[in-house]
């Protein structure tokens, strides 16, 4: 009984930690205050990167959330995995109001992004003399069309030397943001290493001028999200063919000893080569993680709640240790969506769906006609990713 009670308490603690970090990120000071009134110890709760709610509020400039946290005794000089204090984050993202607040409460600027450590803006992310460095004057945006948008920039269809390409362009206002530059550098460094028929091909980047840009092949078929929105549920044979393409790409990424965990595998990040949808590729590696495997059983402490809630593995949601199987879970959710014609836990909001999955639930199949085809052991051998949760559907 005591063991069960301890597990329940641990689950509750993990849930509350996720909630306060989430509400701090969402600038919801009222929700943060309510949680702290219920449990004041949450004020210094940390994720697996040792980042506290005050780190989150300082990075984004959420002054009301920061004041609330300080009122409840937040450690203004807590250091995350990179030894950054909240003030270092505030200085790195130029949040003047937060900087003044933290300094008035004894905040110090230590860490990789703090002025105590480094006063200069991070230099261009990669050497200028790379053979893939693109002169921005070669990019033609005269007939550009936006095909995607994110927190840090936009993705445009443009032309490079007469060829259609996809260009991820960092917003000018963020071109000197240290964390944005760090993420950009990480994605370019990763893409340079990737070569596979089921991985979106990196073509080049602009790293020595503003705005920073990342250039990949342009795939005319659009993304799987829109395709499923238009088509609804797919036939078992089509779903299997699509799954095999995704699985081949993911098996390449997961190949040891240098394993790449995608961490944001979802239909929007799976692209169709053409309108015939006869070939798929995995793309968008902004949240991917490159690790060197010492043992086939290694697990890693990485940032919790990374990626999209709808397709997020339970161990990521709960800030637990995880490894490449988190991509397998996301893959299973995509396969479910292809067969059912709707996302997993469609009746839930994304966060609530992830929480429901973390509590042990799995989306239920409504139609049963395709089950015999999917039970063919040859199919599972070809997919190669071991759908660990298929027996729970």
Catalytic residues: 264
The Cβ of residue 238 has, within 10 Å, a number of other Cβ atoms equal to 14
Buried b / exposed e along 83-120 (16+ C-beta atoms within 10 A): ebbbbbbbbbbebeebbebbeeeebbbbbbbbeeeeee
Region label for 173, one of left (φ > 0), alpha (ψ between -120 and 50) or beta (otherwise)? alpha
Is 249:281 a contact under the CB 8 Å cutoff? Answer: yes
Is 105:82 a contact under the CB 8 Å cutoff? Answer: no
CA end-to-end span of the chain, whole Å?
A: 30
**What length is written for the chain?**
393
Residues 250 and 281: their CA atoms lie apart, in Å, by 10
Beta strand 270-272 pairing with 280-282: antiparallel
Is 46:14 a contact under the CB 8 Å cutoff? Answer: no
Q: Position of tokens 């028929």?
A: 197
Helix axes of 2-25 and 53-60: crossing angle, nearest 10 degrees: 10
């Amino acid at each position: 009984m005591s063991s069960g009670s301890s597990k329940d308490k641990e689950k509750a603690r993990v849930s509350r930690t996720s909630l306060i970090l989430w509400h701090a990120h969402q600038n919801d000071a009222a929700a943060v205050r309510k949680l702290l009134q219920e449990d004041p110890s949450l004020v210094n709760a940390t994720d697996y990167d040792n980042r506290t709610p005050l780190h989150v509020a300082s990075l984004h400039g959420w002054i009301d959330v920061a004041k609330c946290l300080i009122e409840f005794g937040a450690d203004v000089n807590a250091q995350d995995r990179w030894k950054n204090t909240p003030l270092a984050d505030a200085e790195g993202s130029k949040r003047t109001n937060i900087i003044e607040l933290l300094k008035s409460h004894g905040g110090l600027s230590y860490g990789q992004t703090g002025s105590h450590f480094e006063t200069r803006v991070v230099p261009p992310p990669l050497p200028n003399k790379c053979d893939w460095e693109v002169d921005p004057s070669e990019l033609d945006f005269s007939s550009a069309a936006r095909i995607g948008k994110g927190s840090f920039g936009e993705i445009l269809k443009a032309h490079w030397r007469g060829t259609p390409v996809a260009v991820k362009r960092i917003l000018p206002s963020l071109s000197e943001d240290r964390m944005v530059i760090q993420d950009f550098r990480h994605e370019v460094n990763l893409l340079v290493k990737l070569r596979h028929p089921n991985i979106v091909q990196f073509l080049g980047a602009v790293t020595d001028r503003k705005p920073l840009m990342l250039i990949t092949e342009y795939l005319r078929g659009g993304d799987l999200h829109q395709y499923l929105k238009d088509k609804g549920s797919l036939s078992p044979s089509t779903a299997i063919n699509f799954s095999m393409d995704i699985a081949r790409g993911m098996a390449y990424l997961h190949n040891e000893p240098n394993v790449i965990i995608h961490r944001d595998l979802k239909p929007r990040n799976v692209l169709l080569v053409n309108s015939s949808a006869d070939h798929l590729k995995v793309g968008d590696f902004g949240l991917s993680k490159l690790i060197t495997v010492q043992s086939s059983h290694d697990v890693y402490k990485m940032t919790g709640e990374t990626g999209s809630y709808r397709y997020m593995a339970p161990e990521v949601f709960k800030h637990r240790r995880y490894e490449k199987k988190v991509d397998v879970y996301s893959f299973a959710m995509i396969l479910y969506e292809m067969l059912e014609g709707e996302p997993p836990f469609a009746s839930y909001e994304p966060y609530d769906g992830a929480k429901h999955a973390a509590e042990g639930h799995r989306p239920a199949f409504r139609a049963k006609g395709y089950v015999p085809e999917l039970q063919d052991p040859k199919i599972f051998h070809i997919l190669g990713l071991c759908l660990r949760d298929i027996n729970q559907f």
